[in-house]
Amino acid sequence: MKVATIVGARPQFIKASVVSAAFARHGVDERIIHTGQHFDANMSDVFFDELQIPRPHLHLGIGGGTHGQNTGRMIEAIEAALTEMAPDWVLVYGDTDSTLAAAIAASKLHIPLAHVEAGLRSFNKRMPEEINRILTDHCASLLFTPTAAATQTLLTEGMRPEGIVECGDVMLDAALHFGARVAELGQGAARHGLVPGGYVLATVHRQENTDDTARLSAILDGLGQVAQTLPVLLPMHPRTRARIKVAHLFDKLERLCLTEPLGYLDMVGLERDAAVIATDSGGMQKEAFFHKVPCITLRDETEWSELITAGWNTLVPPQNGPMIAAAILAARGRFGEDMAPYGTGDAAEMVVRSLLDATR
């Protein structure tokens, strides 16, 4: 079996690390195509190195444009690559522009598409990610869902039950595998001069927050207020740094501990040791749960509503700084229900076995 895996952004590299390892165990011929959506070395190259992902067979170098520009250029380049490779399957992850471009290219070439992390919905179509995931799901032949709720969403939308595999979350596979490595390496708070359980780890990167000056300002105000009580570590996404510069908000960073984007192992260590995680990332909401750390999600909605219901996550629309700060500080020491909605850590194996079975 030959599989073309299309990735382009940091969360996809993490998910691909465990699935690519499972492909190798089963002798599958996997060809990785990197679109270049994350073109910064700190957001891309470091992940392939430390997660031991096979180097891409093809790097398209497409990034830095608008959603439309990037997606259109990716479709053209991916179509050419797939025509040459002639894979049995195209595999995509999540909800990025790279995901949608690969889904469209594969469907036009009549190559079966498999979507890992299918069935997620925020029900906010103003989010580019929401459109990407809906369209990708409706192009796919195999839909790998991380939760029972995601499976039910697809059934409600009229998807064929035989095309859905509820495999659990490959991010749990990664958290278990790399969490053990982090413990061995001793990565975490001390490496950054912080005390375990004595700081807040924050990330901000979503367009709805970075490109709205009022929301971005409120988030930075809130984090700055928290920093008067607890240190706040903020690894700076390139988009966030650029928007802070354009909006002249650098003065709001004075109280924060800033770093460049960090590698995955470093972030896992910091997540495990944090008192609270404050983020607009979908992946970090789950990683907070995996490490049993309270999470504040700086968005109007989330795809991972089960974490809200169970008390592990609190949704805080970023409207004003004091509200954000109060929510973060109130989350310290607050834990949710004991539950296991994301499987048992064998999602990658289920993905590969399902693809092999469907190819026979």
Active-site positions read: 205
Spatial distance between the Cα atoms of 84 and 158, rounded to a whole number of angstroms? 33
* Of residues 116, 205, 172, 125, the one with CA closest to residue 307: 172
* Of residues 38, 34, 33, 42, the one with CA closest to residue 9: 38
* Of residues 170, 108, 89, 102, the one with CA closest to residue 133: 102
- Position 136: which residue type? T
Task: Please check whether residue 6 is in contact with residue 35, taking contact to mean a CB–CB distance below 8 angstroms.
Answer: yes
Task: Please check whether residue 125 is in contact with residue 133, taking contact to mean a CB–CB distance below 8 angstroms.
Answer: no
Three-class secondary structure assignment of the chain: CEEEEEECCHHHHHHHHHHHHHHHHCCCEEEEEECCCCCCHHHCHHHHHHCCCCCCCEECCCCCCCHHHHHHHHHHHHHHHHHHHCCCEEEEECCCHHHHHHHHHHHHCCCCEEEECCCCCCCCCCCHHHHHHHHHHHHCCEEEECCHHHHHHHHHCCCCHHHEEECCCHHHHHHHHHHHHHHHHCCCHHHHCCCCCCCEEEECCCHHHHCCHHHHHHHHHHHHHHCCCCCEEEECCHHHHHHHHHCCCHHHHCCCEEECCCCHHHHHHHHHHCCEEEECCHHHHHHHHHCCCCEEECCCCCCCHHHHHCCCEEECCCCCHHHHHHHHHHCCCCCCCCCCCCCCCCHHHHHHHHHHHHHC
